[in-house]
Amino acid sequence: MDLYNKKILVIEDDEHIFAVIKAMFKQYDNNSLILKKNGKEGLKEALQNEYDLLLLDIMLPKKDGWEICKELKEKKNDLPIIMLTAKSEEADKVLGLEIGADDYVTKPFSPRELTARIKAVLRRYEKTESKKTDTLYFDSLNMEIDTDSYTVTIDEENVSFTPKEFKLLSFLAQNKEQVFTREQLLENIWGFENLTETRTIDEHIKRIRKKLNNTGIEFQPIKTVWGVGYKFSIRKENNND
Q: 11: pLDDT confidence band, cut at 50, 70 and 90?
A: very high
% of the chain surpassing 70 pLDDT:
87
Q: Residue 100's pLDDT is what?
A: 81
Domains of the chain, first to last: 7-130 (3.40.50.2300), 133-238 (1.10.10.10)
- Maximum Cα–Cα distance across the chain: 58
Split at pLDDT 50, 70, 90, the class of 127 is low
Rounded Cα–Cα distance for residues 78 and 152 (Å): 16
- In this predicted structure, the answer to whether residue 210 has a pLDDT above a threshold of 80 is yes
The DSSP annotation for 14-47 comes to -HHHHHHHHHHHTTSTT-EEEEE-SHHHHHHHHH
Q: Encode pLDDT of 133-183 as tens digits.
A: 568 888 889 899 998 888 999 988 999 999 889 999 999 999 989 999 998
In this prediction the pTM is 0.59
Sequential DSSP letters for 142-179: TEEEETTTTEEEETTEEE---HHHHHHHHHHHHTTT--
State residue 44's pLDDT score.
93
Q: Which tens digit of pLDDT belongs to each residue from 52-111?
A: 999 999 989 999 998 999 899 887 678 899 999 876 666 666 777 778 888 888 888 888
